[in-house]
Structure 1
Amino acid sequence: MGEPVRSVHAAPLEALLAELAVDPGAGLTDDEARERLARSGPNALPEQRRASLLAIFLRQLRSPLIYLLLAAAGLAFALGERSDAAVILAVVALNAVIGAVQEGRAERSLESLRRLSALTARAVRGGREVILEARWLVPGDVVLFSAGDAVAADARLIDAAALEVAEAALTGESVPVPKRPGAVAPDTPLADRANMVWSGTHATAGRGRALVVATGASTEVGKIAALTAAGEEPQTTLERRIAQLGRHVIAAGVVMCGVVVALGALRGLPLVAISMIAVSQLVSLIPEGLPVAATVALALGVRRMAGRRAIVRRLAAVETLGSLSVICSDKTGTLTRNEMTVTALYLPGDRRVDVEGSGYEPSGRLAERGREVDAGADADVRELLLAGALCNDAELVPPDADDPRWRAIGDPTEASLLALAEKAGLDVHAARERHPRQGEIPFDAAARMMATQHAGGAAPRVLLKGAPEAVLELCSGVRRGGRVEPLGDREAREVRGAWEDMAGRALRVLAVAAAEGAAIEPQRGYAPLRGRVHLLGLVGQLDPPRPEVRGAVLTAWEAGVRPVMVTGDHKATGLAVARALAIARDGDTAVDGRELDALDDEQLAARLERISVFARVHPEQKLRIVEAFQARGDVVAMTGDGVNDAPALARADVGVAMGVTGTEVAKGASKIVLTDDNFATLVDAVAEGRHVHRNLKRLILYLGSSSIAEVVALISALVVGLPVPLVAVQILWVNLVTSGLVTVPLIMGPPEGDEMRSAPVPRGEPLLSSQVLRRMAFIVPAIAASTLGYFAYRLSLGVPLVQARTEAFTVLVVSQWFNVLNCRSGRASGLSLDLLRSRWLVAGLAVGNALHAAVIFAPPLNAVFHTVPLPIEEVVSIAAVGSLVLWVEEIRKALVRRRERRASPSRRGRRGADHPAGSRHASR
């Protein structure tokens, strides 16, 4: 079934439904959908052709660093050093193979994550609303969407309520476009087709139901995509930092080459030999494997996070997580279970009703002062519950074979009102049939309420529910004892007292009201209802905190990451939950949206340190909160789920969207999507980000210290008048064996477990940080001294130069293997860490040992690498000398641990006085 031939925007809807053979109420059956999918194909744009293995291999050669290697090979061949040229070319080939394999693995990991974060859609299949991947939509599907949902296919509207769609991505229209059903003229331009919604756009307000008429490449955006070549993504911050580091290293290497050649000339060494050594040393100094290894480190972090329910949409965000100092988190669903349960009711006349039961299961009784309430006989209670069920877009799904629990389709707050009505014995489906909806004002985050109009009585009736302060502004009366009475000052104080009492018990409070004989005018909003509304009562809902969140909050504080709650609830409710979860410290306060608007930027900055809860904020204020924290130097994560959260998510250093309740627009603006909407998952992701950053530092430390040590040993030999300790081909072999075989395994090691017991990584800290340089100050002299010292010692004993060089060559290799153990941790002993946990590193060391043994003991390779077999007793001595770098680092680490033990008691005392978590905001 393809796209209808006629102009779908101009054809009568009934004709389209007949042509696509679909009932708009029941939708397609699963069998019909499968048949159409086989004919039309998946609802996806043609994927960019994947690069061939050869193309990926050749891409590894497009680097100035590789060009230097090839130039060195050409120079060696021209000078008759064909074996050296062959080894250099082997280094290039092996490096390219390793890079291609790792790039392919990283791409496969990211491809699997793209599938995990695929766009979803709501459709009607077989008379039931289902959620499915958008790629399975077919022409003839009936789809549903509301504010924040992405439109997944081109579709003709069947019906709509106050629907507006942002079409800037397709038409360039800067403001959302109102949509309405009904045919339009055949020559209507695409941007003016108000009865159509287009793939690639998103709803910003209202809700609608539409008939899919085109999918995949047949959609308007698909036609454009077919004409547009995919552009390359810009470099990430991390890639730019690596490129900058590479340029600095190349500059240093060129200077080093000049020094080596000059010293060799002063010593009278052959120009050809010293030039080859200088070029080889330059090659060894350049970390050509760094970009590939860094990408692998990030990709591995992405994969581990996916296993912990955090989908990373921007690779560089992994490293940014390690620098987070503030997490601005939603409450509902993120800090709490998002399983709303009504536990308390207030009705005018100071009536307090307790509600039993939990979750969405409609079982439990209503009791007032211990006596059961009969909603059938109590008109005030019945009206309150009925209004909550009718002014409602959710559905309850009873248990079935697939899931034994009652489940909600739609907003959990609304689902809890349905469960409440069913507990009281009301038949929600029958009530909806008796009082059909005639109009509505969908929920709006700025207005903080919604309204619906219903028939079924002598005159139309409007029902409202929302934030108490918003609803009460419209009210002029209250329903009490079966009649409407004026809302005076005494009644208003009574309502406010009940509301604040509920909020103080960490209940989320909704006000429910009605307007008799009123009608909704969508264009005028709530203005016509002002003064005509009477309050039916308040509903107190409890969304219990997730049991794991308090521990995650304490972990965040200990790690120097400050959690802040941003919620749409009343500030008393938010502050009560924040204190229960240890988010709020002693003396911390809550600020609501109105108070926030009253603060200028300087006043907000002055109070920011003690504000733990931002309550009743609208999405635009989230952006200001993010910018306020960033202005004082914080690295900020912001969570969000709504379409209007997108600006704040995009502005935050790490925007985090909710995978379960989040809109597709919010997911598109975010860098990370939590598949379980859980704050604890975000804290786990921070730990993973720090682990990735630590891996990158390990990589820089290992490559830098090993390469610089070779240069120091070479230049020192030339200065003191010794022969050159290594020939060019040996330098290249060291670079291949030490870097190629253990660099990637080094960054695949497990976390040390202390990632969340230190302050965040400072913003903008360079890869070659002062901490890395301080460690190099111990490692480099140890490797250079052991290599050059053993070489000089053996020469003094009269050992032939070729054997002394072979021994120095081996000492250097062994030193760098011991250095791998050093680089696994900055403070823990390389001997105490469980080496067997890093099986890839063990494998790399084992293969490296075998290859180096072949170079030393295999006669065919002796001629290539200018080596000779060594006596076994010398191998033992070489291993002992090569371990010097390990013992030097062990002494340094022991001093670090001793200093930490001495400092820890006083540090714990300072922390305990500041926060119940035992830590203060360490990044300050």
Structure 2
Amino acid sequence: MPEKTTDSYHSRDIESVLEAFECDPDQGLAASRAEALLEEHGRNELVEEKGVSVWKLFLRQFASIVVYILGGAMILAFSTGRFPEGWALLAVILVNAVIGFVSEWRARKSMAALQAMGKPHAHVIRDGEEKEIAVETVVPGDVLVLGPEDIIPADARLIEVDALRISEAALTGESVPVNKSTDPVGEDAPLAERTCCIYKGTTVQEGSGKAVVTATGMRTELGRISELASGAEQGEAPLQERLDELGAKLAYVSLGLAVLIGGLGLALGRDMVEMIETALALGVAMIPEGLPIVATIALARGMWIMAKREAIINKLTAVQTLGATQVICTDKTGTLTENEMVMRRILTPEGNAVLDTDSHTYRAGEEDADGEINDLVHHAVRLGVLCNNAELSSDDDDAHRGDPTELALLDGGVALEMAREKLLEQYPERREVDFDPDVMMMATYHERPDDGEILVSVKGAPERVLEACSTIASADGGSNELSSEEREEWLSRGDELAAQGFRLLAVADKVVSNTDPDPYEELRLVGFLALDDPPRSDVKEAIEACHSAGIDVVMVTGDRETTAHAIGKETSIVNKEEGSEDAKKGEELGEIPSEREKRDELSRTHVFARVSPEQKLNLVKLLQEDGKVVAMTGDGVNDTPALKRADIGIAMGKRGTDAAKQVADMVLRNDDFSTILAAIEQGRIIFGNIRKSVVFMLCTNLSEIIAVGIAATVGLPLPLLPLQILYLNVLTDVFPALALGVGRGSHEVLKDPPRPKNEGIMTGAEWKRTVVWGCILAACVLCGLLLSLEVLGLEEDAAITVSFLTLGFAKLTFVLNLRDVRSRVFNNEVLRNKWIWFSSAFCLALLCAAAYLPGLKDILSVVSPTLPAWGVILGLSVIPVVLGQIWLTLRRRKEGLG
């Protein structure tokens, strides 16, 4: 049997390929031979990674150091007979897991709906007959029969073609269908230039042909890319890393304090059971039990907001990771552009016309003094519409049929009131000469309405059409001889437009008496039609907003350099003032020997063209090794390795392949780049909200540690009992923290640069603030205990109740200190957050229930406060917020913020 790769078949002639596979192009394989080959090579299918099972998805929610610590505290509580504390901790752990599981499960169901697609069949010749078989049973040596809209079932070498054009966008990123032939190409030809081969997963745009299968399953180009994707491991999400780091720090501090104070207490002669109870109280106090719940709900709400903005988030932490994005590597076709060819310019010897993109109408070029579109412009478009076999549906864009370029010509004709159906009534078609990839032209013959003569309408590659032209159109409808100088001038004009990213077609005509004459001789040049896939209307603004937010945007496409660079300039990706270089081919980056030089090149180049799947993957790796958080967009199978490797993989929902959607962290249902910016904004808001929540919980938790630690050291009664601490942390901490976590935030976040990749949730400034406020809150708690014992003369249980409620009420007012320093006392995000007020009212009810509700107050060892005790509680609880607002106001004035 032949080699197991398709690498050499594009450079070999048809006879040698048929001989290698012992294949007869007319008879195909015998059924018995096909069965043996299927046994030898296996089924024609890709090896898919097993999805995460429901149970694994649920168990994954427990993979957090904070949850591990809570589990340890739960075990300690049960082992020492403190069952209420144990059950409460178990409830916290389970609630967090359920919320995370439900959010990710719903995202998975949304993805399943996007990916619901039927499996196609293949048409092959076996035993001398054309048969329809399951794609999975195609084997090397099968002769494929190809027709319009067929999905190619395997890699194959073409042996017959008839105007065959293949859409390879899903595999190579090339937006324009490729003209195929049977002629071999060079052995070193890149995938996008192997015009004699077809590849699994691509689509027949038009035409027909036959091909002999050279590779199936994982041996195909698609299979090779699938293997690349399976090896492209994604790092852990930044938020998960930060939470784990914080959890580890808290674990060490908790363990150290418990051992230190427990040992000190024993050395001072304190009771062993009392010290175990103290150690448990310190352990519970140090852990922000509500942190996993707050983070999970904040992220889940982010998923919900993103879903409303046309984005499906596959993984909970992906919402926040977007907020840390420093580089967006984006595809061109359909993401930055409309994925729809448009006729933008019409050039003739006597005047031009350009498309007004706002009104989608054409206007005369600046050189036309009278501002009117001349007849020659109309005639150029008329020729493009007549020499056409696409079908434009007026009811449904999805019902359009034909080549995107020809559809653009028809659309331009409609804009100039020359719909093809009406033109054909005036100019009935008498003959068509199909597009020939060798001559790069197409022609149609039409009967003229006035004299019955035959109008030959020709369109094709400018250099080929110019070669066939002997005259050039004049303003009066006649023609003049086409001189060599004029020929060079038109070629030069074509080169200039091509350099700007336009796809060019030349149109020409001649009048003959019947349909017999050769269509490509003695033509009259009428003009050029310039087409492109224009940028989306909101893309430039979105990219400029990315730049303002400190985010680099890099275009990575399989398209041509000229096209990519033109779109880069038009969308502000390329900025000459900042020293951006021109577009580079993906292979050029690989030719640079030094890793440092490669990174320097990356910092200067923002457009990469003709990029292979391996090069995309390496590009992402280089950026990550340089410390960047990378988001990668893609829609094709060729994008899957890079999508999986990137910190955030973003697939297109409308035109994306199943493979791309399955490995992506986020799917854009509207394929719109601006949705990425909205997701980044939401991610930044969420991280800021979670940071506020963490500061809030750690401030109050630290105050509990300080108060309990000092009391245990100096011989005072514990101001807070373990179950009281758990009640405060799980209930009166969680709800205000959760309210902070779901705040709407501000659009101002996009004016700040991305935070450093290694920046933790708690920076040095946050830790200083936490320690200061923790000490102030602890002082209020201890003052409440001492005042109750020494001044009010209360019993120990009643005094502990005062310190417990003091901290509870202080937390409700302290949350107001979490406003931004730039905001005002009575006009800030915290006060505008309705959930803060709901949570405060709910927590107030919980504290009152703890003080007066029979059963609950007994479990918590609470004694209903007297009126003087309430005076102490309320007086001490407002001290932190008063001090906080004074400090924030003074800082705001010091920094000149108003």
Fold agreement, TM-score > 0.5: yes
SS in 1 for 2:742: coil
Matched, 1:847 2:851: no
Residue equivalent to 2:375: 373
Equivalent of 1:815, from 797, 810, 813?
A: 810
Distance 1:54 1:631 in 2: 32
Tell me how far 1:765 sits from its aligned partner: 1.9
Residue equivalent to 2:672: 678
Equivalent of 2:588, from 575, 582, 597?
A: 597
SS in 1 for 2:201: strand
Unmatched runs of 5 consecutive residues or more in structure 2:
1-26, 29-47, 124-132, 139-143, 162-198, 209-216, 219-232, 447-455, 474-478, 511-522
Tell me how far 1:763 sits from its aligned partner: 0.9
Tell me how far 1:499 sits from its aligned partner: 4.4
Bigger Cα displacement from structure 2, 729-738 vs 44-53: 44-53
Distance 1:582 1:46 in 2: 38
8 Å Cα contact 2:70/2:287 also seen in 1 = no
Tell me how far 1:264 sits from its aligned partner: 1.9
Residue equivalent to 2:766: 772
Tell me how far 1:866 sits from its aligned partner: 2.2
Equivalent of 2:726, from 732, 736, 750?
A: 732
Residue equivalent to 1:354: 353
8 Å Cα contact 2:306/2:679 also seen in 1 = yes
Residue equivalent to 2:111: 114
Residue equivalent to 2:69: 65
Residue equivalent to 1:870: 865
Residue equivalent to 2:78: 74
Equivalent of 1:159, from 142, 146, 164?
A: 146
Residue equivalent to 1:216: none
Given the superposition, is the C-alpha separation of residues 597 and 463 from structure 1 closer, same or farther in structure 2, using an over 3 Å criterion? farther
SS in 2 for 1:763: coil
Residue equivalent to 1:552: 542
Given the superposition, is the C-alpha separation of residues 900 and 502 from structure 1 closer, same or farther in structure 2, using an over 3 Å criterion? farther
State how 1:88-167 maps to structure 2 within 5 Å: 88-96=85-93, 98-99=95-96, 101-103=98-100, 105-107=102-104, 109-111=106-108, 113-115=110-112, 118-119=114-115, 133-134=116-117, 137=118, 159-160=146-147
Tell me how far 1:840 sits from its aligned partner: 4.3
Bigger Cα displacement from structure 2, 566-575 vs 665-674: 566-575
Residue equivalent to 1:420: 412
SS in 2 for 1:345: strand
SS in 2 for 1:755: helix
8 Å Cα contact 1:367/1:373 also seen in 2 = no
Q: Which AA in structure 2 matches 1:283?
A: V
Q: Which AA in structure 2 matches 1:673?
A: V
Matched, 1:694 2:688: yes
Tell me how far 1:596 sits from its aligned partner: 8.4
SS in 2 for 1:396: coil
CA RMSD of aligned residues (A): 5.6
Tell me how far 1:881 sits from its aligned partner: 1.6
Equivalent of 2:747, from 753, 758, 763?
A: 753
8 Å Cα contact 2:323/2:754 also seen in 1 = yes
8 Å Cα contact 2:152/2:203 also seen in 1 = yes
Tell me how far 1:320 sits from its aligned partner: 2.2
SS in 1 for 2:751: coil
Tell me how far 1:690 sits from its aligned partner: 0.7
Matched, 1:883 2:873: no
Q: Residue by residue, what CA displacement relative to the aligned partner does 1:240-271 show, whole Å, maximum 9, x if unpaired? A: 55344333322321211112212222333221
SS in 2 for 1:846: helix
Distance 1:537 1:828 in 2: 62
Tell me how far 1:654 sits from its aligned partner: 3.0
SS in 2 for 1:754: helix
Matched, 1:857 2:852: yes
Q: Which AA in structure 1 matches 2:409?
A: L
Residue equivalent to 1:291: 292
Q: Which AA in structure 1 matches 2:588?
A: D
Residue equivalent to 1:303: 304
Given the superposition, is the C-alpha separation of residues 843 and 313 from structure 1 closer, same or farther in structure 2, using an over 3 Å criterion? same
Q: Which AA in structure 1 matches 2:529?
A: V
Tell me how far 1:407 sits from its aligned partner: 7.7
Matched, 1:791 2:785: yes
Tell me how far 1:278 sits from its aligned partner: 1.1
Distance 2:632 2:608 in 1: 15
Unmatched runs of 5 consecutive residues or more in structure 1:
1-11, 14-43, 78-84, 120-132, 143-150, 168-175, 183-200, 211-218, 221-231, 442-449, 517-532, 905-924
State how 1:574-653 maps to structure 2 within 5 Å: 574=565, 578=569, 584=575, 586=577, 588-589=579-580, 591-593=582-584, 597=588, 600=592, 605-606=599-600, 611=605, 614=607, 617-619=610-612, 626=620, 629-630=623-624, 632-653=626-647
Tell me how far 1:873 sits from its aligned partner: 4.7
Tell me how far 1:92 sits from its aligned partner: 3.0
8 Å Cα contact 1:60/1:100 also seen in 2 = no
State how 1:375-524 maps to structure 2 within 5 Å: 389-390=388-389, 395-399=391-395, 408=400, 413-421=405-413, 424=418, 426-427=420-421, 434-435=431-432, 480-481=471-472, 491-500=487-496, 508-511=502-505
Bigger Cα displacement from structure 2, 631-640 vs 575-584: 575-584
Distance 2:65 2:545 in 1: 44
8 Å Cα contact 1:717/1:724 also seen in 2 = yes
Q: Which AA in structure 1 matches 2:852?
A: F
Residue equivalent to 2:18: none
Residue equivalent to 1:255: 256
Given the superposition, is the C-alpha separation of residues 76 and 653 from structure 1 closer, same or farther in structure 2, using an over 3 Å criterion? closer
Identity of aligned residues (%): 25
8 Å Cα contact 1:360/1:415 also seen in 2 = no
Bigger Cα displacement from structure 2, 296-305 vs 655-664: 655-664
Distance 2:134 2:424 in 1: 30
SS in 1 for 2:283: helix
Q: Residue by residue, what CA displacement relative to the aligned partner does 1:717-740 show, whole Å, maximum 9, x if unpaired? A: 233443322223322322222344
Tell me how far 1:319 sits from its aligned partner: 2.2
Distance 1:607 1:233 in 2: 24
Tell me how far 1:658 sits from its aligned partner: 3.1
Distance 1:60 1:652 in 2: 22
State the TM-score, normalizing by the size of structure 1: 0.67
Distance 1:606 1:487 in 2: 49
Equivalent of 1:660, from 639, 654, 657?
A: 654
Distance 2:684 2:882 in 1: 27
8 Å Cα contact 2:391/2:400 also seen in 1 = yes
Residue equivalent to 2:11: none
SS in 2 for 1:756: helix
Given the superposition, is the C-alpha separation of residues 589 and 91 from structure 1 closer, same or farther in structure 2, using an over 3 Å criterion? closer
Matched, 1:719 2:713: yes
Residue equivalent to 2:84: 87
Residue equivalent to 1:539: 529
Q: Which AA in structure 2 matches 1:373?
A: D
Distance 2:509 2:107 in 1: 54
Residue equivalent to 1:911: none
Matched, 1:273 2:280: no
State the TM-score, normalizing by the size of structure 2: 0.68
8 Å Cα contact 2:707/2:779 also seen in 1 = yes
Given the superposition, is the C-alpha separation of residues 491 and 314 from structure 1 closer, same or farther in structure 2, using an over 3 Å criterion? farther
8 Å Cα contact 1:284/1:732 also seen in 2 = yes
Tell me how far 1:75 sits from its aligned partner: 4.2
